[in-house]
Amino acid sequence: MNAKRISDSTETCESIKLGIDAHAKWYYVGRQVDGATPQPVQKMTFERLLHFVAKQR
């Protein structure tokens, strides 16, 4: 199977959609790149969420 790694900094895409479910302590984030199948949800803190979003740019 030849899957592209979305996390590579050299790869570009047209759109990244983030779905964020915010709770008191944790944020649950789902990501969809271009028209691909949504990726599994990740659980993270607010600080990690900010870092994650910044890396998507």
Q: Are 30 and 19 in contact (CB under 8 A)?
A: yes
Of the candidates 30, 41, 31, 26, the residue with the CA atom closest to the CA atom of residue 6: 31
pLDDT in tens, 12-54: 889 999 999 999 999 999 999 998 999 999 999 999 999 999 9
pLDDT at 13: 86
Give the per-residue pLDDT at 10: 57
pLDDT at 11 exceeding the cut of 90: no
Task: Decide if 3 is inside a domain.
Answer: no
This prediction has a pTM of 0.73
Count how many domains the chain has.
Answer: 1
Q: Does residue 2 lie within any of the structural domains?
A: no
Measured distance CA(20)–CA(41) in Å, rounded: 9
Q: What is the pLDDT of residue 2?
A: 42
Tokens of 43: 């659980």
What is the extent of the structural domain holding 31? Answer: 22-56
Tokens found for residue 28:
């649950």
